[in-house]
Amino acid sequence: MERVFSYGFAYRLNESGWHGDPDGRIPLLKIKKAIIMHPTFFNEIVYREKGFRESMEKIIDNWSLKYPGIQTVDHIYFHSILAVDNDTRKKYLEVAFLKGKNL
């Protein structure tokens, strides 16, 4: 993401940004919505209770996508992708198809 969402394309810096202040970033993207579809190794409880979900959303959703100007980020998790049954995997694929279709 750092190679694509780079200075001059995704953001610019004002004077305070050049001095290390993250609030000195000027967003340049005019994208209304992004969807992240995220298969996970662990189950939903682990992501919630261990803080994985919150950490990922701060870094990926807020910092990497919203900060350069994307208005809405929809982050969908497909938990325990290796451990779920085939019916659950099919549901995950249905959700992914519908979210992509309705973007």
Can you read off the two tokens belonging to residue 79?
A: 């938990």
Q: Are 82 and 41 in contact (CB under 8 A)?
A: yes
Q: Identify the pLDDT of residue 5.
A: 86
pLDDT along the chain (103 residues), means of 10: 86 95 93 93 94 93 92 95 96 95 85
**Domain range list for the chain:** 29-101
**Which position has the token pair 């803080």?**
51
- Taking CA atoms, 97 is separated from 35, 65, 68, 90, 101, in Å, by 12, 22, 27, 10, 6
For 61, how many CA atoms within 13 A lie in the half-sphere containing its CB?
17
The pLDDT assigned to 37 comes to: 94
Q: What's the confidence (pLDDT) of residue 7?
A: 92
Helix, strand, or coil here: 90? helix
pLDDT recorded at residue 103? 80
The pLDDT assigned to 87 comes to 97
Q: Give the homologous superfamily in CATH for domain 29-101.
A: Flavodoxin domain (3.40.50.360)
Q: What's this model's pTM, rounded to 2 decimal places?
A: 0.80
